[in-house]
Structure 1
Amino acid sequence: MHGRAAAANGNPITVGGSFTGTATTLLTSTVPAPTPTDDIYAAFRAVNNNAASGTGLSGDGAGFGVVGRSAAASGVGVRGYATNGFGGQFESPWADLVLGGDIARGAPTGDTDRPHTYGEVVAEVDHVGFTSTLWYCTATGLPGSWRRLAGVGTAGALTLLPTPKRVYDSRVGELPALGVKTPIPVNAERVVDCTLAGSGVPTAAVGLLLNVTAVALRATSGYMSVRAAGTPLPNPETSNVNFTAGAVVANSVATACAAGAVIVRVGGRPGTNLGSDVVVDVMGYYL
Structure 2
Amino acid sequence: MNEMPVKDDKAAVEASDKALGRRSMLRTLGVAGAVAGVAALEVGRSTNADATTGDYLRIGYSQGAQNMTYLTNQVGSSVISNPLTSEPTLMWGDNRLSSLTNANGIRGDGKGPSGMGIWGNSDSGGVGVHGGGGIGVQAQGSRAALKLIPSGAAAVDRSDYHQTGEFIEDSSGNLWVCVGAGFPGSWRKLAGPASTGAFHVLPAAIRTYDSRSSDGALSGGSRTLTMSGVPNGSSAVTVSLTATGTSGPGYLALYKAGISYPGNSNLNWSASGTTIAVTTVCAVNASSQLVVRGAGGSTQVIIDVIGYYA
Q: Percent identity?
A: 31
Contact map agreement 2:237 2:308 (CA 8 A) in 1: yes
Equivalence for 2:79: 31
1:200 aligns with 2:229: yes
Distance 1:107 1:216 in 2: 50
Contact map agreement 1:165 1:282 (CA 8 A) in 2: yes
Equivalence for 2:163: 117
Equivalence for 2:192: 151
Closer/same/farther in 2, CA of residues 98 and 216 from structure 1, 3 Å limit = same
Equivalence for 1:286: 309
Question: How many residue pairs align between the two structures?
Answer: 252
Distance 2:256 2:85 in 1: 56
Q: Match for 1:206: what amino acid?
A: S
Distance 1:242 1:46 in 2: 71
Structure 1 gaps of 5+ residues are 127-131, 268-272
Contact map agreement 2:246 2:297 (CA 8 A) in 1: no
Q: TM-score, normalised by structure 1?
A: 0.77
More helix by share: 2
Contact map agreement 1:210 1:282 (CA 8 A) in 2: yes
Contact map agreement 1:104 1:124 (CA 8 A) in 2: yes
Closer/same/farther in 2, CA of residues 247 and 182 from structure 1, 3 Å limit = closer
Q: Match for 1:80: what amino acid?
A: G
1:44 aligns with 2:85: no
1:191 aligns with 2:235: no
Distance 2:281 2:84 in 1: 55
Q: Secondary structure at the match of 2:156?
A: helix
Q: How does 1:44-193 map to 2 (within 5 A)?
A: 44-50=91-97, 53-62=102-111, 63-73=115-125, 75-82=126-133, 85-100=134-149, 104-112=151-159, 114-126=160-172, 132-171=173-212, 174=213, 177=214, 180-185=215-220, 188-193=221-226
Write out per-residue CA displacement over residues 67-102 of structure 1, whole angstroms, 9 at most, x where no aligned residue: 1001212x00000011xx1111111233211111xx
Partner of residue 240 from structure 1, selected from 245, 255, 266: 266
Return the offset for 1:208. 0.8
Q: Match for 2:135: what amino acid?
A: F
1:224 aligns with 2:252: yes
Partner of residue 256 from structure 1, selected from 279, 283, 291: 283
Distance 2:124 2:131 in 1: 18
Structure 2 gaps of 5+ residues are 1-44
Closer/same/farther in 2, CA of residues 49 and 166 from structure 1, 3 Å limit = closer
Return the offset for 1:56. 1.8
Larger radius of gyration: 2
Distance 2:198 2:158 in 1: 27
Equivalence for 1:275: 298
Contact map agreement 1:11 1:25 (CA 8 A) in 2: no
Return the offset for 1:7. 7.9
Higher relative contact order (CA 8 A, sep 6+): 1
Distance 1:19 1:93 in 2: 28
Contact map agreement 2:179 2:188 (CA 8 A) in 1: yes
Equivalence for 1:129: none
Distance 2:268 2:83 in 1: 73
Contact map agreement 2:217 2:298 (CA 8 A) in 1: no
Q: TM-score, normalised by structure 2?
A: 0.71
Pairwise CA RMSD? 2.8
Distance 2:288 2:55 in 1: 64
Distance 1:159 1:183 in 2: 30
Closer/same/farther in 2, CA of residues 36 and 229 from structure 1, 3 Å limit = farther
More strand by share: 1
Return the offset for 1:207. 1.1
